[in-house]
Amino acid sequence: MPGDAAAAAETSSGGAGDLARLSLNTATTKGWTLREAVEGAARAGLPAVGLWRDRVAEAGLEESARIVREAGLRVSSLCRGGFLTAADDAGIDAALQDNRAAIIEAATLGTSELVFVVGGLPAASTFGGAALPYPADRAADGEASTSSEAGRAVVPGADPARDLVASRQRVADRIGELVPVAQEHGVRIVLEPLHPMFAADRAVISTLGQALDLAAPFPAETVGVVVDTYHVWWDPELERQITRAGAEGRIAGYQTCDFLLPFAADPLLSRGHVGDGYVDFATITRWVTAAGYTGDVEVEIFNQTIWDTPGDQTLATMAARHRTHVLPHL
Amino acid sequence: MPGDAAAAAETSSGGAGDLARLSLNTATTKGWTLREAVEGAARAGLPAVGLWRDRVAEAGLEESARIVREAGLRVSSLCRGGFLTAADDAGIDAALQDNRAAIIEAATLGTSELVFVVGGLPAASTFGGAALPYPADRAADGEASTSSEAGRAVVPGADPARDLVASRQRVADRIGELVPVAQEHGVRIVLEPLHPMFAADRAVISTLGQALDLAAPFPAETVGVVVDTYHVWWDPELERQITRAGAEGRIAGYQTCDFLLPFAADPLLSRGHVGDGYVDFATITRWVTAAGYTGDVEVEIFNQTIWDTPGDQTLATMAARHRTHVLPHL
C-alpha cells in the first residue's frame, strides 16, 4: 500500500523517540529464539519485548533475564499464566502449581505483568476441538461425570462441563488463591479477555467489563487487565470499560493486532498487522490514551504468513504500521 | 449417541404436545423448497416454520402464504431484514426500500416477527471478505472516501469505513425511520445480535444488551430481540439481559442451535444440532422461560453436513434433540 512505503522509509531514518513504547511479543516472530527476538527488537530500535514462557524455557530462565538485560531492553509482559477452569482436584492443583511458577518467572525476568488466559469449558478436551459428549454418554463410556459445584443449585439435565457460570466462578476462586503469591513477588495477574469465538476452548472471560468485574475484589497493582484490540474491538461497551479500567488503574497492557477476514483455517491465526484488517485503531488508541495509559504497546500476532516472513522484515512492517495507525493517537 | 436413539424412538411414537412450540427454519433444510419444508414440518408434527425471504420469493409471496395456511402451520418469523449500515445516500435508500418490502412480506405471510441482521462495517465489501484499504489508499485508486458523520467529531487519521460507533448510530437512525412502517403493518422489527466474529462483515450488533439499548426508544410491540443461542451463549451478561428483555416484553423469538468446534471453513456454517457443541441449553432455556417467553423455539442451522442430509432425517434429529435438551426446561 502507498502509505506503507512512506512509513517504511521513515523506519530506516531511525529515531528511537517514536518507537519509545513499541514492544515485540515473541509470538510475532515465532521462528526466532528468545535471543534472536531480543537482538532483532534492539536492532529495530524497540525498547521492549513481551516474552512467551516456551521461549524463556528454551533459553533458561536466568539466561533469558540476562539476555534481555544485557541488550538494554525491558520486558513488557510475560505470556502466559491462567487455565484455571479445571473442576477436579488434580486439575486445580496443577493449575495453581503452574501459575505459582509463572509468577516467579515473571519476577525473575523483571516484569510485573503476567498475562492470564483463563481457560475454556471442561467440555473442551483440546484447543479448537469438538465438544465432549454429554454426561449420560460419558458415563456410558465408563468416564465419571464432572461433579457439581458446591453451594450452587444444579439444573437437572444440565452438563457441568458446559456450565459457563460455574467455570467463571472457578476462575474467580483460583485468582483469589493466587493473589497472595503474586503480591509476595510483586507481580500483577493480568486478565486477558479473549474474543468470544474462543469462549469454549480457551477463555471464559470474553469482555473487558467481565475481566474488570473479576479483578474488582483485588488491589489494582495485583490484578489488572490487558486490552488486545483483536479480542475486544467489537465490544459495544469498549469505550466505557477502557475508561473504567483506566480510572481503576488496571490497564496493564495494550496490544495492537488487526482482525482479518477471511478467517484462517485455524481462526486463532487470523490476526494481522495493524492496518490490514477491520480494527479502528485511531479510535481505540485514543480511548486507551484518554484512560491514562502510558505503558508499552505490544504487538502480538499469530499468523502463518508473518511467521514465514524474515523477522527483520516483520519488525519493519510493525514499526511502519505503528507510526501510521497508532502513534498519532498515543 | 445412546441418548439419541432413545429420543428418536420417542419421535416415532408421535404426540404433537411436546413439539407444540418447535419451529423449522427453512435455512436448516436448505435443499427443500418452501413447499417441501412446510410439508416436511407438518409431517414431523411441527406447528410452525420460520421462513427466509429467498424461499418465499421462489414460491411467490401470496402462494407462500397460502401453502403455509393450507398446511395448518403458523409462521414463527421471517428472515431477514436489516443491512442498515450504509453511509451513502444510495445505500441508505436501497436499505429503506428493501426493508419496507420485507415488512409487507411479513404481514402478508401472517407473522409479526421480522428478524433484522443489521449489517457490518462499510469496510467490508463482501461477507467474510478482506477489509477494504484505508482511505488514503482508496483515494489513490480514484475512489472517494466515505463521508464523515454529521454532528460527530471525526478522529484525524481514522477511517470512517471502520468506524463501529458511527455504523451503529446509522442502524439506530434507520430503525427510527422504519418503525412507522412496521407499526402501520403490525410487524415487529426483531433485532438479532450476531456472534462478535461477524461484527466486521454482517452485524454491528453483537450483544443482547446492545440490541435492547437500540430497541429502548421504541414500543416493545414494534422493536424486539431474538435470542439465538449460537450467537449469544458466551455472553457474561446473558442471564441479566434475557431477564431484562423479558421484563420489557421484547423477546420475539428463541432460536436453538449449537456452537461447534473445530470451525467450518466458513465459520458461519459452524452451527450444529442442539447437543453437538458447547452450548448449555438447560441453563439458557431456563433463563428464557423464567423471563416469560412462551413463543416458538425455532431451529435455524447452517451446516453443510446437515444440508447434505435428507430433510426428514434432519427433522427427526431436531425433534429428538429438542426433547432431550430443550423441552425439559421450557
Could you check whether the bond before residue B188 is cis, i.e. omega within 30 degrees of 0? no
pLDDT recorded at residue A144:
41
Tell me if A131 and B263 make a contact (CB, 8 A cut-off): no
Per-residue burial over B196-210, b if 16 or more Cβ lie within 10 Å, else e, is: bbbbbbbbbbbbbbb
Residues of B in contact with A130 (CB under 8 A): 260-262, 277
Residues paired with A218 in a beta bridge: none
> A9 to each of A281, A318, B28, how far by Cα in Å?
22, 13, 53
pLDDT recorded at residue A17:
83
Tell me if B278 and A162 make a contact (CB, 8 A cut-off): yes
Q: Using CB atoms, which residue from A3, A140, A261 is nearest to B134?
A: A3
pLDDT recorded at residue B6:
42
pLDDT recorded at residue B139:
56
Q: Is the pLDDT of residue B252 over 60?
A: yes
For residue A208, give the chain B residue with the closest CA: B236
Tell me if A124 and B278 make a contact (CB, 8 A cut-off): yes
Residue bearing cell 459457563: A164
What is the DSSP code string of B125-153? Answer: SSTTPPBPPPHHHHHHTTPPPPPPPTTSP
Residue bearing cell 514492544: A23
Q: What does pTM read for this prediction?
A: 0.93
Rounded to whole angstroms, how far apart are CA atoms B40 and B311? Answer: 7
Residue bearing cell 509476595: A184
Q: Is the pLDDT of residue B321 over 80?
A: yes
For residue B197, give the chain A residue with the closest CA: A197
Tell me if A278 and B131 make a contact (CB, 8 A cut-off): yes
pLDDT recorded at residue B98:
98
Residues of B in contact with A200 (CB under 8 A): 234, 259, 261, 277-278
Tell me if B164 and A277 make a contact (CB, 8 A cut-off): no
Greatest CA separation found in chain A?
Answer: 67
Q: Is the pLDDT of residue A143 over 70?
A: no
Phi, psi of A233 (to 5 degrees): -55, -30
Per-residue pLDDT band at B10 (split at 50, 70, 90): very low
Tell me if A283 and B159 make a contact (CB, 8 A cut-off): no
Q: Across the A/B interface, how many CB contacts are shorter than 8 Å?
A: 165
**Closest approach of B137 to chain A, Cα-based (Å):** 7
What is the DSSP code string of A81-145? Answer: EE-----SHHHHHHHHHHHHHHHHHHHHHT-SEEEEE-B--TTBSSTTPPBPPPHHHHHHTTPPP
- Neighbour-count burial of B220, counting CB atoms closer than 10 A to its CB (0-12 exposed, 13-18 middle, 19+ buried): middle
- List CB contacts of A129: < 8 A, sequence separation 6 or more: A201, B261, B262
Strand positions, DSSP E, A137-280: 188-191, 223-228, 251-255, 258-259, 271-272
Q: Using CB atoms, which residue from B137, B201, B280 is nearest to A159?
A: B280
Question: Is residue A77 classed as helix, strand or coil in its secondary structure?
Answer: strand
Tell me if B157 and A278 make a contact (CB, 8 A cut-off): no
Tell me if A1 and B137 make a contact (CB, 8 A cut-off): yes
Instruction: Look at residues A191, A222, A182 and name the one whose alpha carbon lies nearest to residue A209.
Output: A191
pLDDT recorded at residue A125:
84
Instruction: Look at residues A276, A279, A189 and name the one whose alpha carbon lies nearest to residue A234.
Output: A279
Residues of A in contact with B236 (CB under 8 A): 168, 205-207, 209-210, 213
Residues B3 and B27: beta-carbon distance below 8 Å: no
Q: Is the pLDDT of residue A313 over 70?
A: yes
**Closest approach of A125 to chain B, Cα-based (Å):** 11
Q: Using CB atoms, which residue from B196, B239, B279 is nearest to A195?
A: B196
Rounded to whole angstroms, how far apart are CA atoms A27 and A284? Answer: 23
Q: Is the pLDDT of residue A14 over 50?
A: no
What is the DSSP code string of B210-258? Answer: HHHHHHTTS-TTTEEEEEEHHHHTT-TTHHHHHHHHHHTT-EEEEE--E
Tell me if A158 and B1 make a contact (CB, 8 A cut-off): no
Rounded to whole angstroms, how far apart are CA atoms B241 and B256? Answer: 17
Question: Is residue B308 classed as helix, strand or coil in its secondary structure?
Answer: coil
Q: Give the angle B8-B41-B113 at the CA atoms, nearest 5°.
A: 120
Residues of A in contact with B163 (CB under 8 A): 280, 283
What is the DSSP code string of B51-91? Answer: EEHHHHHHH-HHHHHHHHHHTT-EEEEEEEEE-----SHHH
Mean pLDDT, residues B121-139: 88
**Closest approach of A255 to chain B, Cα-based (Å):** 18
Mean pLDDT, residues A97-101: 98
**Closest approach of A155 to chain B, Cα-based (Å):** 7
Residues of B in contact with A142 (CB under 8 A): none
Mean pLDDT, residues A176-194: 98
Q: Kindly state the helix (H) or strand (E) to which residue A288 belongs, with its residue range.
A: helix A281-290
**Closest approach of B53 to chain A, Cα-based (Å):** 26
**Closest approach of A161 to chain B, Cα-based (Å):** 9
Q: Kindly state the helix (H) or strand (E) to which residue B33 belongs, with its residue range.
A: none
Question: Is residue B106 classed as helix, strand or coil in its secondary structure?
Answer: helix
**Closest approach of B199 to chain A, Cα-based (Å):** 6
What are the pLDDT digits (tens) for B24-80? 999 999 999 999 999 999 999 999 999 999 999 999 999 999 999 999 999 999 999
Tell me if B263 and A260 make a contact (CB, 8 A cut-off): no
* Identity of residue B213: D
ipTM of the complex: 0.92
Rounded mean pLDDT of chain B?
A: 92
Q: Using CB atoms, which residue from B136, B213, B260 is nearest to A3?
A: B136
